[in-house]
Amino acid sequence: MSIRPIHSLDDVRAIEAHPFEAYLPYTSVMHALETQEAKHPDGIALKYIQSADLDEPAQQWTYPQFLAQVRRAARLFQSLSGDQAPRVAFLLPAIPQAHFTLWGAEAVGIACPINYLLSEEHIADLLQAAGVNVLVALGPRPELGIWSRVAGIRRRCPQLTHVLAVAAMAPTEGALDFDQAVAAQSDAPLPARAAMDDVAALFHTGGTTGSPKLAQHQHRNQLCAAAGAACMYGASERDVIVNGFPLYHVAGSFVYGLSMFLVGGTVVLPTLLGMRNTDFVQRYWRFAEREKATLLAAVPTVMSSLLTVPADGVDISRVRALLTGGSPLPPDLAEAFERRFGIPVRNILGMTECGGIIAIEPCAMPRTPGSVGLPIPFVTVRAVDAAGEPVPAGDDGELQIRGPNVSPGYTDAAKNEGVFLPGGWLASGDACHVDPQGRLYVNGRAKDMIIRSSHNIDPLMIEDTLQKHPDVLMAAAVGAPDEYAGELPVAYVTLRPGATTDAPSLLLFAEQHMPERPAVPKQIVVLDALPVTAIGKFFKPRLREMAAQQVIEDRLAQRGLSGTVAAQVLADSKGVQVIFDCGGDAAAAATVKDMMAPFALRWRIADHASAPQVGA
């Protein structure tokens, strides 16, 4: 493919004036990778920084060497699967073997990347639902305790016929050594390629609570998303990106991975722990200089951490942009990063159900605060009202997406309802608007909206206001349950090193600066760290649990039940649920029922299964 840097919506339209098949003349992801292998026989596809020691050189693979490993992995999965099509899951951090596994599995079957931080039971459920017959997992290592769950996973998954261990530092009984098994295979070209509409992978979504869904990825979805990213970056074979995202996340695989491979660029993997390696982070700018990085990838929480890492005396002049997404980008954080390092920040919006990418702020265009950029080529976005009708440019609505990046649906078709809509549209659940120039603005998750006495409050408004305080590093706002208002806003913040402010001072600041009076938080809580997912997104279900727990405990104390009734608050895909243990005390149970009657919450009394549940 020929990458044209995007300077405006007109450039996107010029690409779309030609057939999609001309834009992406491939039959599969493997075909695209082999095309780049032929074009860039001396180019470096992949580099791996093995430790935070700057004197230890990175491992590297040229495109032919990289594709040889991918083909060997593909043949290994075929040989292990016999007459079955390989369905290969992996529990791996962002290391080279994860790339060999992902692309090799997609070449001959279906890949199923799994978040290795999930529980044993949760992982097993995903493997069962995906019909996985081969598992690749990181062997025993002191840095990551992935292998300890493998034996239990095998017991729970009778269809799992083979397990391969990667980089094991202790015995792995009953498992093959991945690197040895791959090395024994031929790297000759594979006899057949998949088709663009074949399913290449199953990516789980839905968070770490509730019941995650497995989104199907066709080769077309992944290639559309990755090629769109490359266009928005203006990427070329001269680009080197530092990508510490795990490959079970679409950002690691496609936003910052396949997008570079499609142009002959280089992906740098920063140690086994990625951006969770504090020693590496403290030397981040020196590694960026050493590897001649031109692009950086980080979620906003990591950007905040990098602001504290000195770059004095380090040549980072080659870096032309930092790419971010995964959670809202505070404009003040982007400005502070650009001011400190002279590196432009560009925002990205993606979804697992869209190959990871919907819209990107083009590197060749100025940054527009609050915008997530333009839709990638061949992708259409719109804002719709509650009836599903498009709203005028500039008006708020729910974001819907249509294009070749959109998944054909979940493996469980019953979960498609309300998400995959007639006409090829995908309902994102995001509140958004599109300006007259075609730029997309996401105003928050529709489900994250705080509804205070029928007044919709965007948590981003609260977060952006608090982050204007010079002592605030990061802020996250959620709704706390209230008997009368339904929800009241509360905020959780972390402070910059050396900060002296406190919660009452921040509350006064919020009262003075909040654009809407109803959005002033009822409470502000200062934490040492905000709960985040494995890739650094704010984990708002945990914050909702904390907010609701405080409210319930306050109400129990008011009724003299603190020592009599225990309450456990859980947040799942349906919202917050409270479980009370009254210890068989009928009078306490009656008081709890009276207390909870005004709340729009799911709740139950553990020792009284017939207790009413409001909002269930």
Q: What is the pLDDT of residue 611?
A: 41
Nearest residue to 535 via CA among 380, 337, 324, 341: 324
Q: Taking residues 348-375, what's their average pLDDT?
A: 94
397, 391 in Cβ contact below 8 A? yes
Residue 367: per-residue pLDDT: 92
pLDDT class for 535, splitting at 50, 70, 90? Answer: low
The 10s digit of each residue's pLDDT in 483-501 is 877 789 999 999 999 999 9
Cα angle vertex 444, ends 441, 448, to 5°? 165
Phi, psi (5° rounding) for residue 172?
A: -130, 80
Cα angle: 604, vertex 605, 610; to 5 degrees: 75
Average pLDDT over residues 201-221: 80
Higher pLDDT, 233 or 305: 233
SS3 category, 357: coil
The answer to whether 413 and 215 have CB atoms below 8 angstroms apart is no
SS3 of residue 459 by DSSP: helix
Mean pLDDT calculated for residue range 571-579:
76
Task: Give pLDDT, residue 211.
Answer: 56
The helix (run of H) or strand (run of E) holding residue 22 is: helix 20-23
For residues 117-142, give the mean pLDDT: 93
Statement: residue 83 has pLDDT above 90: no
Band the pLDDT of 166: cuts 50, 70, 90.
Answer: very high
Instruction: Kindly report, residue by residue over 137-150, the tens digit of the pLDDT.
Output: 999 999 999 999 99
pLDDT > 80? residue 332: no
Query: Can you say how many angstroms the Cα of residue 312 is from the centroid of all Cα atoms in its chain?
Result: 31
Q: How confident is the model at residue 609 (pLDDT cuts 50, 70, 90)?
A: very low
CB 278 within 8 A of CB 308: no
pLDDT confidence of residue 360 = 97
Residues 257-289 have pLDDT tens digits of: 999 999 999 999 999 999 889 999 999 999 999
List pLDDT tens digits, range 252-261.
Answer: 999 999 999 9
Mean pLDDT of the chain, nearest integer: 91
pLDDT on residue 246: 92
> Which among 438, 400, 376 is positioned nearest to 24, based on CA atoms?
376
pLDDT score of 325 more than 90: no
Radius of gyration of the chain (CA): 25
Lowest mean pLDDT among 38-47, 131-140, 607-616: 607-616
Q: pLDDT over 90 for what percent of the chain? A: 76
Residue that the structure tokens 């339209």 belong to: 13
pLDDT mean over 176-201? 93
- pLDDT at position 109 is 96
Query: Which band of pLDDT confidence, cut at 50, 70 and 90, is reported for residue 454?
Result: low
pLDDT of 70 strictly over 60: yes
- In this prediction, residues 96-120 reach a mean pLDDT of 94
Rounded to 10 degrees, the C-alpha dihedral 189/195/199/201 comes to 30
Asked whether the whole model's pTM tops 0.75, one would answer yes
Angle between the 96-108 and 29-39 helix axes, to the nearest 10 degrees?
Answer: 120
- The pLDDT score that the predictor gives to residue 209 is 38
CB contact set of 378 (below 8 Å; sequence gap of 6+): 15, 16, 20, 23, 224, 228, 403, 404, 405
What confidence category does residue 616 fall into, taking pLDDT thresholds of 50, 70 and 90? very low
